[in-house]
A = this chain, B = another copy of it.
């Protein structure tokens, strides 16, 4: 999700949303506030990514950026028009425009983090609606990891973890056999974690 800058430097260029930390808020709070102010996104997975501190990364003055990344599913969190930024839009990470400042580097590091983390923590579900099909989940992993997965083996593995609740519902509005819907059981995950269980794809 990028915003188009309406002020120099890098005017008219796309950039990551962001802003300054206030003296009376933590940086976690600031990240959440900025995200909300610039995109309308709320109640999403948000985690500190990395802190960027090269001396010339902003041409105006010395700026240190503590970058955060959020995971969002587009169906349940629509973008709202906001006042801060002139324009906000979603991009495919395989078709990014050129970015302001060192934001391309920040995106690279975020993708690397996601790729690493998605394999051993159940954060992939943040990118899907609450109810999803196993094929959607598989496609998600195939996209993030950049590999093709075997359908039968994938289902076997995921279902054996006992983290998915099989619902009595199916997809609607598809032009083929409707797939069963599942839900991720976060409570069960935390419970299993206590006992030494490790999520792994």
User: Within A6-41, which residues are at the interface with B (CB < 8 Å)?
Assistant: 21, 23-28, 30
Which residues in A have some Cβ–Cβ distance to B below 8 Å?
Answer: 21, 23-28, 30, 48, 50-51, 53-55, 62, 64, 66
How many copies of the chain does the oligomer comprise?
2
Q: Which of A28, A53, A54, A64 counts the most chain B CB atoms within 10 A? A: A53
The 4 closest A-B pairs by CB, nearest first: A27-B53, A51-B51, A51-B66, A26-B54
Q: Is the CB of B23 within 8 A of A64?
A: no
Complex CA gap A55/B23 in Å reads 8
Complex CA gap A55/B30 in Å reads 11
- Distance in Å: Cβ of A81 to nearest Cβ of chain B: 29
Q: Is the CB of B66 within 8 A of A53?
A: yes
- Distance in Å: Cβ of A22 to nearest Cβ of chain B: 9
Residues of chain B contacted by A23 (CB below 8 angstroms): 55, 62
Residues of chain B contacted by A62 (CB below 8 angstroms): 23
Q: Which of A23, A27, A51, A55 counts the most chain B CB atoms within 10 A? A: A51
Complex CA gap A53/B50 in Å reads 13
Residues of chain B contacted by A27 (CB below 8 angstroms): 51, 53, 64
Q: Is the CB of A26 within 8 A of B53?
A: yes
Residues of chain B contacted by A64 (CB below 8 angstroms): 21, 27, 66
